[in-house]
Amino acid sequence: MKNIDYARRERRAKRRRARRLHRASACLLLLILFFGIHTLVQHTYKSKDQDSGKAGSSQDTHLTLQNGYSWNDDSATSKGDVVTTNEINLRSGPSAKYGIVCSVPSSTKLTMTGELNTDGTWAKVKVPGGKTGWCCRPYLQSGVVDAAATKGLDQEDYPLSIKVSLNDQKVMVIDAKGLTIKTFACSSGETGSETPTGTFSVSNRGISFYNSKLGEGAYYWTSFYGDYLFHSIPFNQDYEIKQNEAEKLGTPASHGCIRLSMDDAEWIYDHVQDGTKVTIQ
């Protein structure tokens, strides 16, 4: 009888140990799943934040009936070495909606393959090691771009000044002799978001910005009055130029800033110094 009771107790003890082991294993599995999902979510948000940071660190033959907006930069189809101006993500396609191939630090030498998207704002490049991907061209710097940026202006042309005609939707760049050396088509603020008039002064600039409330951003911004800027045709959340907005160039269409073609926004970004007088009337 004692042997039977002992055997029963042993069986009950084994079942209790088995249940405890099962519960412990289940808890361990849940912990592993929890921390795995937590790590994945953190990594996803980190990648999105890095993309957003790059965006915020934050260039008229551009409009054609058949092809829409295009960037006519001289180096658009060039191949050769370029250098990143910021830390950037290379994408598997010409838009921020494509997956990230790899991240590239600032000042990294890349090789342009010669492939561009339809409006010329994204370029396919090769990184050291052989990987290829797409990135926004304003974040690339090359000898060709540098040479183009300084071509045609002498020191005696400075100081420059800028006049904006809201009636004509034109931006005029005037040299030190009072001669108009550049005239750009623009889009000022639409009704309800009018561009301020008066005399202002250029004070800051950047390669790009993105406004999450408006769901759009732009390249080559140059500030002339607080948040009022000269900048390119806007792009959407995927860094794709808004073709419908490009078609409005030459008519009031902005939220108060002065929109320009990519080339013209880049020209002002490159040539117009801080302190330059801006008159809007």
Kindly state the tokens that stand for 33.
């799943």
Q: What number is the average pLDDT over the span 70-84?
A: 59
- From the list 135, 136, 231, 271, the catalytic residue is 231
Report yes or no: 70 and 62 within 8 Å, Cβ to Cβ. yes
- For domain 152-280, which CATH number applies: 1.20.20.10, 3.40.50.2300, 2.40.440.10, 3.40.50.720? 2.40.440.10
60/255 Cα distance (integer angstroms):
22
Active site residue 135: no
Q: Is the pTM of this model over 0.85?
A: no
Q: What number is the average pLDDT over the span 204-210?
A: 93
pLDDT of residue 92: 95
Indicate whether 78 pLDDT > 70: no
pLDDT of residue 154: 82
- Say how many CA atoms lie within 13 Å of 64 toward its Cβ: 9
- From the list 135, 186, 257, 271, the catalytic residue is 257
Of 24-33, 175-184, 206-215, 222-231, least confident by mean pLDDT is 24-33
Residue-wise pLDDT for 154-199, tens only, equals: 888 899 999 999 999 999 999 999 999 999 999 999 999 999 999 9
Higher pLDDT, 44 or 137: 137
Output the CA angle 237-226-140, nearest 5 degrees.
45
**Quick one: fold of 76-141?**
SH3 type barrels. (2.30.30)
Convert 153-188 to b/e letters by CB count within 10 Å (16 or more is b): beeebeebbbbbebeebbbbbbbeeeeeebebbbbb
Indicate whether 234 pLDDT > 90: yes
Indicate whether 245 pLDDT > 70: yes
Residue-wise pLDDT for 260-273, tens only, equals: 999 999 999 999 99
List, as one string, the DSSP characters of 105-146: -TT-EEEEEEEE-TTSSEEEEE-TTS-EEEEEGGGEE-HHHH
Higher pLDDT, 139 or 79: 139
Confidence of residue 146 (pLDDT cuts 50, 70, 90): very low
Query: Quick one: three-class SS letters along 50-107?
Result: HHHHHHHCCCCCCEECCCEECCCCCCCCCCEEEEECCCEEEECCCCCCCCEEEEECCC
Kindly state the tokens that stand for 114.
């010669």
Across 79-93, 133-147, 195-209, which has the greatest mean pLDDT?
Answer: 195-209
Residue 109: count other Cβ atoms within 10 Å of its Cβ.
11
Kindly state the tokens that stand for 28.
């361990």
Phi, psi of 61 (to 5 degrees): -100, 20
Q: What is the mean pLDDT of the chain?
A: 79
Phi, psi of 193 (to 5 degrees): -135, 45
Q: In the chain, where are the structural domains located?
A: 76-141, 152-280
DSSP letter at 273 equals P
Q: What number is the average pLDDT over the span 82-89?
A: 87
Strands 161-165 and 277-280: parallel
189/103 Cα distance (integer angstroms):
37
